[in-house]
Amino acid sequence: MRIYITSVPIADYNKALTFYTEILGFQKKRDIELGGGARFITVVSPEDPDGPEILLEPNAYYPAMKALREALTEDGIPITSFAVDDVQAEYERLRKLGVTFTQEPFSQSGPTTAVFDDTNGNLIQIVELKKGA
């Protein structure tokens, strides 16, 4: 078994697609019109274009998802995590692009992490794993 698609809840297709591609650097893999304004949009890492896809899932206002996202944000808990080679460098790059961080790079006897807001109401963690981890 392997991961094929995972999702991130969004409120706005275009805003999310712009953020995930132009700011974070993912590549759009699928953008399928489903009718009635609905779309099936996935993005992938340019480092692994045939790897797991992130579905930009337009369910941000679904009552259960809305409650979950609000609770996670209130507690400062990321909804997902992305691996990067260098958290400090990625933090600096993203800050220059206007990304708002809720946790600056931090390490305490484990991986270095930072957390930012994805402009669609989600907290996203970036993590730099130590070699051999």
Q: What is the pLDDT of residues 24-47, one digit of tens each?
A: 999 999 999 999 999 999 999 999
User: 50: Cβ–Cβ under 8 A, 6 or more apart, which residues?
Assistant: 44
Average pLDDT, the chain: 94
Tokens of 51: 């790897």
The confidence band for 133, taking pLDDT boundaries of 50, 70 and 90, is: low
Alpha carbon of 129 to those of 66, 68, 107: distances in Å?
Answer: 31, 27, 10
Q: What is the pLDDT of residues 61-107, one digit of tens each?
A: 899 999 999 999 999 999 999 999 999 999 999 999 999 999 999 99
Rounded to whole angstroms, the Cα distance separating 91 from 39 reads 31
Bridge pairing between strands 53-57 and 80-83: unpaired
Domain spanning 5-128: which CATH class is it, in words?
Answer: alpha beta
